[in-house]
């Protein structure tokens, strides 16, 4: 995990309280209310949005302002449930290659058949280098196909 990200508590202090525009734009295409895992939930803005739409939410992050605290890419994701939707909004770019790989494999482990994964990233100054095509490839190996992909965002669906 980018130490700068963790030390600055970037996502918690971003101040945004509304769901990301990408999530809002694609919400109507998501499966009907089920169980959602919000990975890197930050201040909970996407979790709250999904909860208001009727979903059951499990939220996790590296900081304890909202959701359960875990060390992303090191700790295992909660395995009590399988998830219909996994949100990874603005978190994968803050993980080094090993952490990112571990987390993506673990996301595949906790995803249901016919589940969806939403990924949003951007080249933050404190981010590690990333390649969305490589990330999509890892999920492809886990049985996911691209539903939508544009620049640093994608929605993947497991068949």
Task: Please give the chain's pLDDT, 159 residues, in tens.
Answer: 444 455 555 555 566 789 999 999 999 888 889 999 999 888 889 999 999 999 999 999 877 667 777 888 888 898 789 999 999 999 999 899 999 999 999 999 999 999 999 999 988 877 899 999 999 999 999 999 999 999 999 999 998
**What range does the domain containing 59 cover?**
3-14+31-158
Is residue 141 in a domain?
A: yes
Residue 108 lies in a domain: yes
What pairs with residue 36 in β-bridges? 57, 85
The pLDDT of residue 142 is: 97
Tell me, yes or no, whether 83 lies in a domain.
yes
Q: Do the strands 153-158 and 111-120 form a parallel or antiparallel pair, or are they unpaired?
A: antiparallel
- CATH number of residue 132's parent domain: 3.40.50.150
In DSSP notation, the chain reads --HHHHHHTHHHHT---SPPHHHHHHGGGSPSS-EEEEET-TTSHHHHHHHHTT-EEEEEESSTTSSEE--TTTSPPP-SS-EEEEEEES-GGGS-HHHHHHHHHHHHHHEEEEEEEEEE----TTPPP--HHHHHHHHHHTTEEEEEEETTEEEEEE-
In a domain, 70, yes or no: yes
Look at the chain and report how many structural domains it folds into: 1
Q: Whole-model pTM?
A: 0.90
């Amino acid at each position: 995990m980018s130490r700068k990200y963790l030390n600055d508590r970037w996502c918690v202090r971003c101040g945004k309280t509304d769901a990301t525009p990408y999530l809002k734009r694609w919400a109507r295409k998501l499966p009907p209310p089920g169980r959602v895992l919000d990975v890197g939930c930050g201040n909970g803005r996407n979790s709250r949005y999904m909860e208001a739409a009727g979903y059951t939410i499990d939220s996790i992050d590296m900081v304890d302002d909202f959701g359960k605290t875990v060390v992303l890419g090191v700790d295992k994701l909660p395995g009590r449930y399988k998830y219909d939707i996994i949100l990874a909004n603005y978190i994968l770019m803050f993980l080094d290659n090993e952490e990112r790989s571990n987390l993506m494999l673990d996301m595949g482990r906790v995803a249901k058949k016919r589940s969806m994964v939403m990924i949003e990233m951007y080249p933050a100054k404190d981010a590690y280098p990333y390649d969305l095509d490589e990330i999509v490839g890892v999920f492809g190996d886990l049985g996911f196909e691209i539903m939508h992909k544009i620049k640093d965002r994608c929605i993947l669906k497991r068949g």
